[in-house]
Structure 1
């Protein structure tokens, strides 16, 4: 089977969505299929993206390829919402979308009404979908007002399984019970929607000697926000407590997970959260938000905690509790590891999508 995959930018980009797309291509290759990536220039404005629909070269490139199936990362919907109608008469193959999250589900969306109507029209024009969570499926069907044929293929829980193989119960217990500051990790590109300013605010209400925060993720995707976050850290006197590492290769992520007590990513919205699964594999409890699908893998009070987006006071309370009660930290860590071990692998997740 020859599969075309349309995305924005490089598939090697270090985000959860691109990791999902890479794993999808790897799975297809393992089944003897051929996946061909068609990369569109990344657009920073909805109106510029809409102009792609009139591109003769893009139409020729896609329509001229002998694909059996054309798969599109849903985030490119502004560039293909009208183009797909033209492809119907030229390409004559099914169009399937991979939905990571709806743009219209995010809090900070410019031109919200136009964005929602564009996304709705795009989804109404595809033949089927691969959803990364039940929450995402529900959001799509709510926007459409009807069911969209498709399957839920969760991100695999085995991305860092080999690296986490030595995360034994004894090691998790030793880490939790060790004397010293609570080591908080956030694996997130430094973007407004990841809620890192809320996390810094929450930690700032705890004694400085009781915690350390490490943020692993790109500092260049939104330089203005990164500068704002640095300013907040400086103005609150937390420079010695917070380490903004920047982007690192996937091979190094495991090192940070081994050395941390818990993962906190208080996003405005997270369709599921691959970083949560990665952390849980290493026996780390997770603090996430109630906005999105994190609750599908993190039980509040079991594998971690769920807070409302922007609720710094709730974050402070949970962080204080886990810093003071290391046995609770341990129980939650072991529960998280068990939950991740039961989660489907990438192969198990993608098999229904291919079938």
Structure 2
């Protein structure tokens, strides 16, 4: 239910409209580095395709086995930099080496955001091999509205969508909310709490402290249609993430007319301008995060102005039809070039 997976599902849904078919082949679920050994067995299942779209979450698992004879051309699809964004230490170093090896054999690299493309260019990847194919801004059809008023008697309802992992910054967001007057904000957390049990335990413990009593509602993992319902029922979107290669949830929230609040990091500065479509606060500045939320809670004209600006700016972002069209056009060009 996270950005990269939904990206491919939505593109696959539009494959037929682009005279294509996208079949999924998954690496068996094994712990690293056993998953690398499993990657070798996938290659035989890929030989009949016209092209291989290699997602960055799986690149390291097939990297050691490339090049392999008889494979169709490879197109990389990068939602994260080499080494990933949720690992550290030896795991990150080894994955970075394997990712880079895999990308050497790709004819083209499709990149999910301008920020990630900038990172890759700075690391030495040739600019002429990179094409940005950003996610669509339209999250789902047929939204399902949540029950009741999300404000629950407070001035605004703030929505945060993200799994409970450290880089999503939930603890910082909770600290910021705790510093607000009790009547200011009801915070709604949508996302899977079971991805990182150690971090989730810290979040759960923070939620039990008296200064957040009744001010935060958790909803767990919900469907895309339900996420849209939360966007449409909230007043503000907030995500204190330090590393969002694209930040699909920011663009989705803006498309639904929500001002966004987060750290001035990752791709957020490419999506929303500080003080215009929301607030991009210096990373780690919890007081600044509190100040941003207080402004939106206490200054309704400013909040409405930012909401309208967010909606307008989002109209320049691609929708999923645009994304699919560019992606399949790039893949088709690689296939045709290989055949000539």
Report the TM range for the smaller structure's normalisation.
0.7 to 0.9
For structure 1, the residue ranges without an aligned partner over 5 or more in a row are 1-13, 165-174
Give the corresponding residue for 1:51. Answer: 37
Give the corresponding residue for 1:249. Answer: 223
Matched, 1:74 2:56: yes
Give the corresponding residue for 2:104. Answer: 124
Tell me the C-alpha RMSD between the 2 structures.
Answer: 2.4
Deviations along 1:265-304, one digit per CA (max 9) or x if unpaired, are 1112001211112111221100122221121111111111
- 1:44 Cα deviation (Å)? 4.3
Alignment check: 8 A CA contact 1:129 1:148 kept = no
Give the corresponding residue for 1:95. Answer: 74
Matched, 1:323 2:297: yes
Residue number among 157, 166, 179 corresponding to 2:137 in the alignment: 157
- Cα distance 1:206–1:225, how it changes in 2: closer, same or farther (>3 A)? same
Alignment check: 8 A CA contact 2:82 2:100 kept = no
Give the corresponding residue for 1:349. Answer: 323
Is 178-187 or 209-218 further displaced after alignment?
A: 178-187
- 1:106 Cα deviation (Å)? 3.0
> Under a length normalisation based on structure 1, what TM-score does the superposition of the two structures give?
0.84
Alignment check: 8 A CA contact 2:158 2:238 kept = yes
Matched, 1:19 2:19: no
- 1:108 Cα deviation (Å)? 4.9
Give the corresponding residue for 2:160. Answer: 186
Is 196-205 or 291-300 further displaced after alignment?
A: 291-300
- Cα distance 1:343–1:199, how it changes in 2: closer, same or farther (>3 A)? same
Give the corresponding residue for 2:272. Answer: 298
Matched, 1:225 2:199: yes
Give the corresponding residue for 2:85. Answer: 106
Alignment check: 8 A CA contact 1:78 1:118 kept = yes
Alignment check: 8 A CA contact 1:50 1:79 kept = yes
Q: Residues of 2 paired with 1:122 and 1:50: CA distance?
A: 12
For structure 2, the residue ranges without an aligned partner over 5 or more in a row are 145-149, 330-340
Residue number among 8, 15, 37 corresponding to 2:24 in the alignment: 37
Alignment check: 8 A CA contact 1:137 1:152 kept = yes
- Cα distance 1:179–1:221, how it changes in 2: closer, same or farther (>3 A)? closer
Residue number among 239, 254, 257 corresponding to 1:280 in the alignment: 254
- Cα distance 1:347–1:23, how it changes in 2: closer, same or farther (>3 A)? same
Residue number among 6, 25, 28 corresponding to 2:15 in the alignment: 28
3-state SS of 1:38 partner: coil
